Structure 1
Amino acid sequence: MFRPVPVPVLPPSTALADLATAGEHHAWLAGTTGVFTSRPSAPLVLSWTGETWREEPLPDLPAPASLSGVSATAPDDVWAVGNSDGHPLVLHYDGTTWHTVTTPPITWAKAVAAVARDDVHVVGTGRDTLHYDGTHWHVRTALSSAREGLQTITATAPHHVWAGGGGLAGAGPATYDYPVLVHWDGHTWTEIAGPRLERGHVARLAATAPDDIWLGHVRDTEGLRVHRWDGRQWNAVPTPDHTGRLSVHGVAAGWTWGVRATRRSFDTRPAFHRWTGHRWTTVALPDDLARTSASHVGLATTGTTTWAYLKTAAGVHVLRHTAP
């Protein structure tokens, strides 16, 4: 069962975006405050201290900004990415202070994968990516078409990095989107074959090893479908079984998350599922949260400790699940 942990009081205008871990006792939650208000939006990072979640002091920025991704290799090597004034925003935590990092421009930074202190990748909604080698940032082109873009990235080693997104084909009413998947081998991005999917886009990637990759694919209004690479082929993973209407939003290694609604209701309840090896099992939430409408649902796992977050009318909630 997920159990809640203390969280600071945050403005109602808070939007949550991504969660990262570094071992069992360190985690960071990234988001944005001031969303859909007259105030300038500002980046937000919460960190787990071992006893509670606290809001991190971030550098002052000259323009409105938002965060969309976070990744960590160690408690003193954390990266958060987003956008500010139409330019990529990259923040780095060295164990003491958060710093703004200057990078070359790419289109709308979406996600980050920190492989090591001297090996960081940032992807955006365009075909170019950023790569940090410990000294310099380099622009690397990952996609062949200007109508393609990336939005998710995962890595298990310097030569095993995967990124996914989608592209647009056709024109006018005949326009449709298609999934794209690319791989970084330590030197070059190369397009690779994903599941046999003709339409939609890759919304989420997670990997524990080169032969264990989880992919979340979205097509039109069908919601997210999960596929898993076993080192030889892609296999479709059945959708979690749930009464009412279930909308799966994301996938991690062995987990999915989303919201569910009962028939004749538009209230969306949070839903988290754990893979048993053959099927998904629903992981219980505290009763008050299980009955509450929620949004901005997400999750990150180390395998032993799993953190989840969600937002309700009462505010932001963070929960912890420890594997038996």
Structure 2
Amino acid sequence: MTSRLLQAIALNTLLAILFSAALPQADLAPIAPASSGAWQCWPPSQANPCRHHLAGVTLLSANDGWAVGGMTGHGAILHWNGIAWSDVPNPANGSLTAVDMLSPHDAWAVGDQGDMLHWDGQTWTQHPPANTLRLASVSMIASDDVWAVGYVFWQRYWAVVVHWDGASWTDSTVAGVNQKLTAVDMLSAANGWAVGNQGTILRWDGNKWTPVASPLAASLKAVDMLSPTDGWAVGAEGAILHWNGVLWTQASSPTNADLTSLSMLSAADGWAAGSGGVLLHWDGAAWLVAPSPTTGGLLGIDVLPGGSGWAVGSGGTRLQWNGRAWTAPAGEAAVDNLRAVDMLTVNDGWAVGDAGAILHWNGLDWARVAGPATAALRGVHMLAANDGWAVGDAGATLHWDGASWAQIPTPTTKQLNAVAMLSASDGWAVGQEGVILHWDGQAWAVVAGPTTRHLFAIDMVTPIAGWAVGAQSTALQWDGSAWRELLPPAEDDLRALDMLSAFDGWSVGRRFTIAHWDAHRWTQVVNPSNLDLVGVRMLSPSDGWAVGNWVGANHFFHWNGSGWNEAPIPPSWTVAALDMVSATDGWAVGDNGALLRYITPPASVSFLPVIRR
């Protein structure tokens, strides 16, 4: 490798070590199980239950394929046997970005932490170098002829090209190419192409990689070659390029969406996929938009002649092509970010989130429920199975009557962050710029408050005892006649609140703020750190939970009456809220439709063997 690349790798490795050692330590007991229960991504019986992004997919046949992805510090590999997807163990150090297979016993997957994993028909094994190279794509010609491309960053991007000769990976990087390489496709040992940022195009002639002129400067995300005289590349803002054996030319595109993946079957049949769930089909004459069952970003696509194909993407999206239409198998379509959850019983609960998303738990499954809102919903509170409320952006308030959700007018257009109902005729909502609304059974009305700072949470104990918290450690109390401001317990935002009684409550927030209410004042009880807490739920004075995030990783803490102890959790997307039904059952929700369940005893989780049908 060049000296600059080696320096970049060393620098990235050092940063990774320092980064992993920088997790803030507060006044916490060592990590230990809170009880005999455990937090699990749900449902554990479903492939990829943590909804990790799937970035690449490859099919050898209608009954044999792989999909890869993951999240920070965790790689996900799924196998398709013609009937179902199943998780397969792997030793990846980070998210995987691409996969290619030559036979049922020979496949490679690469990732953004330098992962180079090989499948031998039984297991995935790591092959050196596993370093901080960011690998984005892999293409197999033969068992001893495999190419991967990517980049490394040191003051600027440096293209990376590596080659497998059957024994080891070696560097074949092109000097002077200071761009990310995002995709590679090899036709033969003497003919291959790679593409990347700023319209970068490289050609392999059997001896060396050479830059080739591009008709545009847009970032290119995928390339697929049918022959030495026929190939395609796609990229940002709907960019589509065609190779005719002499030069690359720009083709007409029916979309402005970023195109991230490409699968060409013939000169008259091909597919492209990208952001917003966009799917394009090539019919030999033009690229046309095809119906898509998702709005989630699609990151990988592979279609076989004869009508079998898959597209994968953000939040674990998996779309199947049957030769006539793309469909989202039950429970496998991407779900919007979830912002709040409220459980009535172990068999009845609700979660809400972005784009008006509403999910209902019936004791067996979470199911999408139609609602009238398109804006983000940020708070939900259920009084009974036939009486509940959700609030969100632009002053949205929705009411559940047991049959459907209906939008109820409000006197504000400000974002509402939380709702707390005491009865069908007494409830409160709070939001941005200190807005406070009261429900009297007939209408919502604005109630004067003492602050214009954002309010993020509210909890009511009785009609004359309630609390709200918000930005800059704002803490308000309701005494039955007016809201008054209390002495702040800290300096940072308070994001969540749960009151056991008028004499006992907890609030959590930014920089690991944990504050306790003792009937007289709020007092901070844990030293600050960089970890932000976003949710809290207390079951009793000796049993409660708080959840937070730091640089993309979740942290769950259990209160046992004397201290907060961190609990083990699976790698999942950022959690936004939690609610406990009992000491043995609870839920947390978050980005990309993340659903985590605390259950005693934990549900059985096992990896399935790779069985081809």
TM-score (norm 1): 0.62
Higher strand proportion: 1
Q: Residue in 2 aligned with 1:22?
A: 141
Q: Residue in 2 aligned with 1:205?
A: 301
Give the direction of change, closer, same or farther, for the CA distance of 1:149–1:6 in structure 2 (3 Å limit).
Answer: closer
Q: Residue in 1 aligned with 2:169?
A: 53
Rg: which structure is higher?
2
Give the direction of change, closer, same or farther, for the CA distance of 1:266–1:138 in structure 2 (3 Å limit).
Answer: farther
Structure 2: distance between partners of 1:24 and 1:209? 24
Q: Residue in 2 aligned with 1:226?
A: 318
TM-score (norm 2): 0.34
Provide Cα deviations, 1:266-322, integer angstroms capped at 9, x if missing partner: 7759xxxxxxxxxxx9478xxxxxxxxxxxxxxxxxxxxxxxxxxxxxxxxxxxx9x
Tell me whether 1:156 sits opposite 2:252 in the alignment. Answer: no
Tell me whether 1:73 sits opposite 2:187 in the alignment. Answer: yes
CA root-mean-square deviation: 3.1
- 1:39-50 to structure 2, matched below 5 A, reads 39-50=155-166
The answer to whether the Cα contact below 8 Å between 2:162 and 2:173 also exists between their aligned partners in 1 is: no
2:284 to 181, 186, 189: 186
Give the direction of change, closer, same or farther, for the CA distance of 1:68–1:239 in structure 2 (3 Å limit).
Answer: farther
1:143 to 254, 257, 266: 254
Aligned pairs, number: 229
SS in 2 for 1:4: strand
Q: Which runs of 5+ in 2 are unaligned?
A: 1-121, 333-552, 557-566, 573-605
The answer to whether the Cα contact below 8 Å between 2:158 and 2:180 also exists between their aligned partners in 1 is: yes
The answer to whether the Cα contact below 8 Å between 1:212 and 1:231 also exists between their aligned partners in 2 is: yes
The answer to whether the Cα contact below 8 Å between 2:233 and 2:240 also exists between their aligned partners in 1 is: yes
Structure 1: distance between partners of 2:297 and 2:127? 36
What's the offset of the Cα at 1:187?
Answer: 2.9
Give the direction of change, closer, same or farther, for the CA distance of 1:60–1:266 in structure 2 (3 Å limit).
Answer: farther
Structure 2: distance between partners of 1:128 and 1:215? 19
The answer to whether the Cα contact below 8 Å between 1:41 and 1:65 also exists between their aligned partners in 2 is: yes
Give the direction of change, closer, same or farther, for the CA distance of 1:60–1:159 in structure 2 (3 Å limit).
Answer: same
Tell me whether 1:165 sits opposite 2:274 in the alignment. Answer: yes
Structure 1: distance between partners of 2:161 and 2:244? 24
Provide Cα deviations, 1:6-32, integer angstroms capped at 9, x if missing partner: 43475x3x2121111224442211110
1:236 to 324, 328, 333: 328
Identity of aligned residues (%): 22
Structure 1: distance between partners of 2:570 and 2:171? 29
- 1:1-324 to structure 2, matched below 5 A, reads 1-4=122-125, 6-8=127-129, 10=131, 12=132, 14-34=133-153, 37=154, 39-61=155-177, 64-83=178-197, 87-144=198-255, 146=256, 148-166=257-275, 178-194=276-292, 196-197=293-294, 199-218=295-314, 223-237=315-329, 264-265=567-568, 268=571, 282=607
SS in 1 for 2:328: strand
Structure 2: distance between partners of 1:238 and 1:48? 39
The answer to whether the Cα contact below 8 Å between 1:118 and 1:132 also exists between their aligned partners in 2 is: yes
Provide Cα deviations, 1:201-256, integer angstroms capped at 9, x if missing partner: 222211222511111143xxxx122121121333434679xxxxxxxxxxxxxxxx
Letter in 2 for 1:165: G
The answer to whether the Cα contact below 8 Å between 2:270 and 2:282 also exists between their aligned partners in 1 is: yes
The answer to whether the Cα contact below 8 Å between 1:202 and 1:215 also exists between their aligned partners in 2 is: yes
